[in-house]
Amino acid sequence: MKKFYLFLLILSFSIITIACSGKTQSDIEAEKEGILSRDEAEVMIWDTLSKEEKEKYTVDYEKESGTKYYLRIYGVDGEIKVRSRYTIDFNTKEINKLSTN
């Protein structure tokens, strides 16, 4: 019985360690391909926001099309009312603002 509990404990720590690792599958794949990851794209948009905007808004990945990630900025109040949309080319890291609401 002790061995079983020890096994469960080790398994739990292993799962927690893997789940809380710094890199997502998207990050790993992007690194292999030498392109910008989704998370890196979100951070690039996040860094364009002012301190006040960072308190009111969040950045979220929407989709991928061609060589571009589509991202949106919306309020953190629980309602997804999109403030603006961006694209980022994951090869060139070029940011393009699509719309502002």
CA distance 62 to 64: 7
Give the predicted TM-score (pTM) of the model. Answer: 0.69
Residue type, 9: L
The pLDDT tens digits for 58-96 are 998 999 999 999 999 998 887 778 889 999 999 999 999
CA 52 to each of CA 31, 37, 59: distance values in angstroms, whole numbers, following the listed order: 32, 26, 14
C-beta atoms surrounding 67 within 10 Å = 14
For CA atoms 89, 50, 59, 26, the dihedral sign is: positive
The pLDDT tens digits for 40-62 are 999 999 999 999 999 999 998 99
